[in-house]
Chain A
Amino acid sequence: MQFAPHTDDDIRGMLEACGLASVDELYADVPAAVRLERDLSIPQGLSEMELVAEMRRLAGRNRNLDDVVSIAGGGAYDHYDPSVGWALAGRSEIYTSYTPYQPELSQGVLQALFEYQSMICELTGLDVSNASLYDGPTALVEAVNMARSATRRDRVLVSQGLDRRYLHTLESYGRGSGYRIDTAPLSGGVTSVAEVGEDIAALVVQHPSFWGNLEPISELFDSAHRAGARAIHVFDPLSLGVLRPPADVGADIAVAEGQVLGNHLNYGGPYLGVIAARSQDVRRMPGRIVGETTDVEGRPGYVLTLQAREQHIRREKAASNICTNQTLMAVAATVYMSWLGPDGLAEVGSQCLAKATYAAERLGSLSCAELVWPDADCFKEFAVRPGRAPRDVQRGLFEAGFLVGPIADAESLLVAVTERRTREEIDRFVKAFEEAAS
């Protein structure tokens, strides 16, 4: 493969125009000692046909969700993404463009992002959304930094119901930023906080939690507010057709993994970091934000705005270092949310809830399985304790055609049921579970 269009004549002519005799002379400023005087040890290039064959070989060594039925969750879900989503987000005028630094040439992406921000505000009830972050866990890191800057406090209280990948990401970044993380324990599967300390910058609660449970979120956030802390809600965008939105339950900042909004599973990325907040924190928001304005003729148009927060202006004092984000995933999410509309969103939520509840009841009635939190309410996910090691059960189920997980702890695994699953699939899954777990 080679995409450079130069003919030999072009190269000769261009070198001549530059007053050079050879391509090597282009690198005359490179000291001899640092030149690579050998070929890279990488195979020679491939024709497109050979490359496709190689990629098919690699892809063929994986079993994918067209081969097995996914009952898996833990932050990535097999929801249905309609054809229209990527047919539109996949338009090459959009996907081959860079960040909209020249707004007159980028109204398409800018308007799509403005609509994305609008829809995230509609979903969450909050005042402001940015144009995307990398993924759910890194969005949480940014939210915590916002809370620290707002409260000038350096401790974060994190519910034990938070997905550990979020916690681990928070810990990694904390090595540089120097915040301290405390955890609020679970009791009966939900977070219990007697009192939030006066030195806490933020209380972080995932609702529905990693375990799938609905949290007493309003009460938790009330205690955060009493202590002057920011309330950070890690939410599931597809739950918001049926569950109370972050603004209603008292969240100041809401973050989410936006993969569920019409994005492919892609073995973990690219996903979509969603963040929204109240207007009190608008100047603490990280990353790109699109605003509406007018042009010199008074016509409406869109630009990147509030750039004084950002790294290219504020440099070492910037609210965040983010530059490249996940715009394309936000565009796909915008198409998907528009496809659903209010009724589709509510229907997806209702189906997830009903199907997960059905699966939980069926699994809970097996003698070889036990629901970990039988009294908790769930949305689309719950934890189950099989009679055998979770890893073996997961493997056995995979062989039987079902992906379940992740492994939640030494004894249990998560089960997630989306609108995509049918009753017949759930029944077959329960049967296979019985065989794998006993």
Chain B
Amino acid sequence: MSGVGAPVRTTGPPVPATLREVSRRGRRAWSLPEMDVPPVEVPHEHRREGRVGLPEVSERDLVRHFTRLAQINFGIDTGFYPLGSCSMKYNPKVAETVAALPGFQRLHPHQPEETVQGALEMLWRLERALCEITGMHRATLQPPAGASGELTGLLIMRAFHEKQGSPRAKVLIPDSAHGTNPASVTLAGYRAVQVPSDSRGLVDLGRLEKVVDDDVAGLMLTNPNTLGLFEEEIQAVAAAMHRVGALLYYDGANLNAVLGRVRPGDMGFDIVHMNTHKTFATPHGGGGPGAGPVGVTERLEPFLPAPVVGFDPEGQRYFWDSDRPDSIGRVHGFGGNFGVLVRAYAYVFGHGRDGLREVGERAVLNANYLATRVKDAYPLAYPGRPMHEFVATAKRFRSHGVRAMDIAKRLIDLGFHPPTVYFPLVVEEALMVEPTETESMETLDAFAEALLQVAREAETDPEPLHEAPTTTPVRRLDEAKAARELKLHW
């Protein structure tokens, strides 16, 4: 039995002092050439007085500091990262190599078109491939993340309805939807109306039909949905929406499951966003960057953000097409997260048609295998066959005083990044597990064993779960204190 007598202490390395504490007046890392033109005074009324409080450190200080920070951070390169809804698959190194080519990295966004034909060709071909994958007609590559793609798609929806005479007032979202969906709905000037899930965890078609009227602009859906289940009645859902002239929006967070097997366009969706940082393995950078391309059907093309890439087949040249009178306008300062799109291009064309289909198949296989291995201890929240991820519930451990968060923290001590917890909100004590296709059976087996061990501990000796984690630089952190005694800078 652990925890008898001696207090538990973390065995992890400590977090380093901040650079401010390391800083010493007069130390420096920077070097610049001597000024070779006459100096100029800043006009008095604009001149900054005093020095800026940036740290003064040597380059060696800097290197040790950030190396330490990297070492106390967990990435996919560190270990298994089954964070549901985030598709934390291996990020190919070749994508980093090619994105760093000066011919991509050292391009200025204001260069004349004829000097960036390769960049425009890349964007054009990527757009074509993404449209083929999703069954859409055209796409914008401007949105820099999924949420931005959502808002872009909803503004397109709004512009479309306005053109028909009225923007309409409501957008429907399932109760299992990701938080960005309702937040984007509000920003697009709509009212979010929740549609409940039925006992299978799918959109309740009967209830949906009751709330659909001609004031509904559209419905936002993921498929597979956020419970990892395929919405079998998707055609009926689409028909119900289209009957009243409403549009169907596809949140592409779960596109990985159906690559090369099912296309949102063929399911009846009108607008689709993709998260390249999920499906196409562009590194998420500890929070971003991402990219959120949005594809649309033919009738929505005029409303896409401007500019889009154009191709003139006669002159065999690519150009920025800004002459789009019905466009919703610009949604990013320049053409989007180009460097991320280069990586997505490498992923899509590196895998090719069979490779992409295999990605989806193996992601689904891995999730099903893992679910099968652990479902006796962690029952699935809904009975259906999971696709690329599954949502289990840990509510049966509540009687032992154990919560989903305790399980997550214990998994950390066993060497794994935990799954997503407490999402979707419709599942009590949710554990949302997405292994992705790049994990081996051995890793899945090891993770399953860890989960089963934690389940046994939860029932017999929950102490390690409550104490966890103990192997990290810090143990559980006081989030209430952080929000109460705001300390947001040094």
Check B43–A214 contact: CB distance below 8 A: yes
How would residues 454 to 471 of chain B score, 1 for a CB under 8 Å from any chain A CB and 0 otherwise?
000000000000000100
Check B475–A291 contact: CB distance below 8 A: no
Residues of B335-360 contacting chain A, CB below 8 A: 335-340, 342, 345-346, 348-359
CB neighbours (8 Å) of A107 from chain B are 15, 69, 72-73, 472-474
Check A74–B110 contact: CB distance below 8 A: yes
Determine how close the nearest CB of chain A comes to the CB of B239; give it in whole angstroms.
12
A215 to B3, CA, bound (A): 64
Which of B83, B336, B423, B472 meets A268, CB within 8 Å?
B336
State which of B60-68, B206-214, B241-249, B392-400 sits at the interface with chain A: B60-68
Which of B330, B342, B483 meets A172, CB within 8 Å?
B330
Check A325–B359 contact: CB distance below 8 A: no
CB neighbours (8 Å) of B476 from chain A are 104, 295-296
State which of A153-161, A174-182, A363-371, A381-389 sits at the interface with chain B: A174-182
A62 to B108, CA, bound (A): 11
Check B350–A1 contact: CB distance below 8 A: yes
Residue of B nearest to A75 (CB): B333
CB neighbours (8 Å) of A313 from chain B are 179
State which of A192-200, A220-228, A299-307 sits at the interface with chain B: A299-307
A19 to B65, CA, bound (A): 51
Contacts A123-B52, A270-B144, A311-B180 known; A111 to B16 CB distance under 8 Å?
A: yes
Check B19–A31 contact: CB distance below 8 A: no
A11 to B363, CA, bound (A): 12
Check B158–A270 contact: CB distance below 8 A: no
Say yes or no for B164: interface residue by CB 8 A criterion. Answer: no
Check A257–B489 contact: CB distance below 8 A: no
Which of A169, A305, A419 meets B479, CB within 8 Å?
A305
A45 to B356, CA, bound (A): 9
Which of B53, B151, B478 meets A173, CB within 8 Å?
B151
Contacts A169-B329, A240-B52, A324-B145 known; A39 to B353 CB distance under 8 Å?
A: yes
Check A168–B330 contact: CB distance below 8 A: yes
Contacts A17-B372, A165-B334, A355-B37 known; A266 to B417 CB distance under 8 Å?
A: no
Say yes or no for B229: interface residue by CB 8 A criterion. Answer: yes
Say yes or no for B260: interface residue by CB 8 A criterion. Answer: yes
Check B329–A171 contact: CB distance below 8 A: yes
How would residues 360 to 375 of chain B score, 1 for a CB under 8 Å from any chain A CB and 0 otherwise?
0110111011001100
A331 to B115, CA, bound (A): 31
CB neighbours (8 Å) of A355 from chain B are 37
Check A42–B348 contact: CB distance below 8 A: yes
- Counting contact residues on chain B (CB < 8 A from A), the size range is 35 or more
Contacts A55-B98, A105-B412, A340-B30 known; A266 to B56 CB distance under 8 Å?
A: no
Contacts A176-B189, A293-B477 known; A98 to B287 CB distance under 8 Å?
A: yes
Say yes or no for A150: interface residue by CB 8 A criterion. Answer: no
CB neighbours (8 Å) of A405 from chain B are 110
Determine how close the nearest CB of chain A comes to the CB of B161; give it in whole angstroms.
12
A108 to B77, CA, bound (A): 15
Residue of B nearest to A358 (CB): B37
Say yes or no for A410: interface residue by CB 8 A criterion. Answer: no
How would residues 68 to 88 of chain A score, 1 for a CB under 8 Å from any chain B CB and 0 otherwise?
001011111010101010011
Determine how close the nearest CB of chain A comes to the CB of B78; give it in whole angstroms.
6
Contacts A40-B353, A305-B482, A311-B147 known; A6 to B441 CB distance under 8 Å?
A: yes
A41 to B125, CA, bound (A): 12
Residue among A63, A112, A268 facing the most chain B CB atoms (10 A cut-off): A268
A175 to B42, CA, bound (A): 40
Say yes or no for A202: interface residue by CB 8 A criterion. Answer: no
CB neighbours (8 Å) of B487 from chain A are 291-293
Say yes or no for A374: interface residue by CB 8 A criterion. Answer: no
Say yes or no for A119: interface residue by CB 8 A criterion. Answer: yes
Say yes or no for A21: interface residue by CB 8 A criterion. Answer: no
Check B52–A172 contact: CB distance below 8 A: no
Check B103–A58 contact: CB distance below 8 A: yes
Determine how close the nearest CB of chain B comes to the CB of A265; give it in whole angstroms.
5
Residues of A282-298 contacting chain B, CB below 8 A: 282, 288-297
How would residues 251 to 285 of chain A score, 1 for a CB under 8 Å from any chain B CB and 0 otherwise?
00000010000001111111100000000001000
Known A39-B354, A93-B70; 16 more pairs at CB < 8 Å: A6-B362, A18-B369, A23-B365, A43-B349, A61-B121, A75-B334, A91-B70, A96-B77, A107-B473, A107-B474, A171-B329, A295-B10, A305-B486, A325-B145, A353-B40, A395-B114
